[in-house]
Copies of this chain bind each other. A is one copy, B any other.
Amino acid sequence: MIIEEKNRECIEACLQCMNACNYCYVSSLKEYDLAMLKECIRIDRECADVCAFAAEALSRDTAFASEICELCAKVCDACAEECDKHKHEHCKQCAEACRRCAKICREMSKAA
């Protein structure tokens, strides 16, 4: 895949996290215990959107990689924290993707 080589790992982590968050969002809206998941739905969308934004910004080699990745890491942390409260498989997978993305974004943020 042809992308800015130095940004590749972080782009891919953001895109995986976007997918995990959107999958959790869609799945949560189908769950029986919907009321318990409303904060999860909300932060899933938030996190998917910021990850999508960060991935596209990194793929056009933004001059603001450090600031954008720092923002992305914060939202990922919040999403992981919320998803950790729930037992659903999609929440567990989402929390894991968020933690991984937050870690890689923080490294990117320091390096950029």
Q: A interface vs B, CB < 8 Å?
A: 1-4, 11, 15-16, 18-20, 22-23, 25-26, 29-30, 34-35, 38, 41-43, 45-46, 48-50, 52-53, 55-57, 59-64, 67-68, 71, 74-75, 78, 90, 93-94, 97
A23 touches B49 (CB 8 A): no
B23 touches A4 (CB 8 A): yes
- Out of B35, B45, B56, B94, which one reaches A60, CB within 8 Å? B45
Residue of chain B at shortest CB distance from A62: B46
Residue of chain B at shortest CB distance from A32: B35
Interface centre among A1, A22, A25, A29 (most CB of B within 10 A): A22
- Out of B1, B26, B55, B60, which one reaches A16, CB within 8 Å? B1
Besides A3-B20, A29-B41, 4 new A-B residue pairs in contact (Cβ under 8 A), listed by A number = A4-B23, A15-B15, A29-B42, A30-B38
